[in-house]
Amino acid sequence: AQTVTQSQPEMSVQEAETVTLSCTYDTSESDYYLFWYKQPPSRQMILVIRQEAYKQQNATENRFSVNFQKAAKSFSLKISDSQLGDAAMYFCAYRSFNTGNQFYFGTGTSLTVIP
């Protein structure tokens, strides 16, 4: 089974600054998707950004961008101009391209934004 590792249980950032959350994964597949999900105290998992493994270009969504290193099996999330509303748990997740049925999630990183 695929494994996803998030080695930073907690991170903090000053408002308006930039923070990077780390994620590594292990797979023998060549085609897959990687995701970052945000889980605020409301508990609903909200999609932040998605990366297709066959695409070399890193995905961006407004203030959120990723650094996808396929050979290193690394998938970090950069949040620019951090806002108070960015405070939440962030989960990195893997999904197979072929089977595509389930997500494999990391253990999460709790992000605090300091005013």
Partner 1 sequence: EAGVAQSPRYKIIEKRQSVAFWCNPISGHATLYWYQQILGQGPKLLIQFQNNGVVDDSQLPKDRFSAERLKGVDSTLKIQPAKLEDSAVYLCASSTGQGAYYGYTFGSGTRLTVV
Contact residues for partner 1 (CB under 8 A)?
A: 4, 32-33, 42-47, 91, 93, 95-103, 105-108
Whichever of 80 and 96 has its CB closer to partner 1, that residue is 96
CB of 17 to partner 1, least distance (A): 26
Whichever of 80 and 104 has its CB closer to partner 1, that residue is 104
CB of 66 to partner 1, least distance (A): 17
- Cα-only R_g, the chain: 14
Whichever of 82 and 108 has its CB closer to partner 1, that residue is 108
Closest CA to 63 of 23, 15, 114: 15
CB of 81 to partner 1, least distance (A): 26
CB distance 80 to 20 below 8 Å: no
